[in-house]
Amino acid sequence: MARLQLKNVVKSYGIYDAVRGINLEIEDNEFVVFVGPSGCGKSTTLRMIAGLEHITGGEIVIGDQVVNRLGPGKRDIAMVFQNYALYPHMSVRENISFCLEQQKVPRGEIEQRILTAAETLHIKELLDRRPGQLSGGQRQRVAMGRAIVRNPKVFLFDEPLSNLDAKLRVQMRTEIKRLHQVLPTTTVYVTHDQIEAMTMADRVVVMNGGIIEQAGPPQELYHRPASQFVAGFIGSPSMNFLEATLVDRGGALVVSLAAGTTLAVPEERATDYRPHVGKAVVFGIRPESISNRQERPGFAEIQAKIDLVEPLGPQTMVYFTVGDRGLCACIDPESSPRPNSTMSLSFNMNQMHLFDPKTGRSLAMV
């Protein structure tokens, strides 16, 4: 178990910079998830931490040791891969014990570590089977068991649930989170799935184009995104965005949208945005902040023509248009609007966001 530091880490392939000078400190026992779209640099960063990719610049520090020039086997890390990477001709027991045997750990200690890991992961009855006799979820547990027995300073997970079906993914992410509570080891987890990131992490690191857009607790990224990219990437369905202008009307601020639609900015939010009066902005609001509940203080109501309805059981999603832009709202599941009907929708402006259309940065954080 150890602190992990990335200091101005760069990875270049010729003239292409895959990772562009990132800085991050991961505390001892912290569970950090890197998330972002394909090509953002998250897996490259993980592979540099593991020693599977040489860094072009900067430093990687595990504990108190700079590990730039150390091979993977000397970094005291354990990695769980997307494709399990199990030896098909070996039993589960042999797969789990293989790295310990290479390290010449005494046989009695190996057996004890195997049993402890097997009990923790509920695979004790599978120890004599081979990988071909296991389900995808069981194989991933074996891969995790192989990592656990090493007692590493850092666990690295490279999209470990990508090959599993939706139901098993939910089960396995719960298992991994439970495992971290039982064995609180510094953990770095890479995924493209923002739901995995939000539900599992102590801290989420959102990457985009080789840089860190924002790092923080899941709720902070959800409620206070630093940029339009983070706002759109975190949350499902994603945030609605509309081009707008910020207008002062008799001392009160309003967001002016297309087709003459205006939404009043609550007074307590006006201080953040007043320096941007008269400027073009990007207005953002999450679907769950638009509802058919009765208007309350801080809410702005519009009449919307419903284009599409998606009943989801605990909630119903409706899609409508403002100007030429489609929006999504989350309404009462007992409501049953029909396509092409009109209904009143309330925007919770206490939960609105405004972004700079040129830089994409949140105007509330400037």
* pLDDT on residue 36: 94
Check whether residue 104 and residue 207 sit in a common domain. yes
* pLDDT on residue 295: 67
Check whether residue 17 and residue 118 sit in a common domain. yes
Check whether residue 82 and residue 214 sit in a common domain. yes
Token pair of 46 as six digits: 């993980």
What is the C-alpha separation between 257 and 206, in angstroms, rounded?
29
Check whether residue 129 and residue 202 sit in a common domain. yes
Residue with tokens 């039993």: 91
Cα→Cα distances 143→49, 90, 169, 211, Å: 19, 13, 15, 30
Question: What DSSP character marks residue 287?
Answer: G
SS3 track for 249-297: ECCEEEEECHHHCEEECCHHHHHHHHHHCCCEEEEEECHHHEECCCCCC
Query: Which run of H or E residues covers position 143?
Result: helix 136-148
Length of the chain equals 366
For each of the chain's 366 residues, which pLDDT tens digit applies?
689 999 999 999 999 999 999 999 999 999 999 999 999 999 999 999 999 999 999 999 999 999 999 999 899 999 988 887 889 999 999 999 998 888 888 999 989 999 998 988 889 999 999 999 998 888 888 988 998 888 899 999 999 888 788 888 888 888 889 889 888 899 999 999 999 999 999 999 999 999 999 999 999 999 999 999 999 999 989 999 999 999 999 888 999 987 788 999 998 888 889 999 999 999 999 999 999 877 678 899 888 899 999 998 888 999 999 888 899 999 988 887 889 999 999 999 999 999 999 999 999 854
- Other CB atoms within 10 Å distance of the CB of residue 64: 8
What is the C-alpha separation between 21 and 42, in angstroms, rounded?
13
Do residues 360 and 233 make contact, with C-beta atoms less than 8 angstroms apart? no
* pLDDT on residue 287: 96
Domain encompassing residue 157: 4-233
Best CA proximity match to 80, nearest among 125, 139, 19: 139
Q: What share of the chain is helix, strand, coil (3-state, %, to 5)?
A: 30, 35, 35
Check whether residue 61 and residue 187 sit in a common domain. yes
Helices (H), 163-236: 166-182, 194-200, 218-223, 228-233
Check whether residue 211 and residue 257 sit in a common domain. no
Q: What is the CATH number of the domain that holds 29?
A: 3.40.50.300
Check whether residue 185 and residue 88 sit in a common domain. yes
Check whether residue 15 and residue 116 sit in a common domain. yes
Please say which residue of 213, 233, 253 terminates a domain. 233
Check whether residue 165 and residue 61 sit in a common domain. yes
Q: Number of helices (H) and strands (E), helices first, in the chain?
A: 9, 20
Please say which residue of 233, 249, 270 terminates a domain. 233
Please say which residue of 233, 267, 296 terminates a domain. 233
Check whether residue 297 and residue 221 sit in a common domain. no
Report the number of distinct structural domains present in the chain: 2
> What is the Cβ-side half-sphere exposure of residue 171, based on CA atoms within 13 angstroms?
11
Strands 31-35 and 186-191: parallel
Do residues 345 and 329 make contact, with C-beta atoms less than 8 angstroms apart? yes
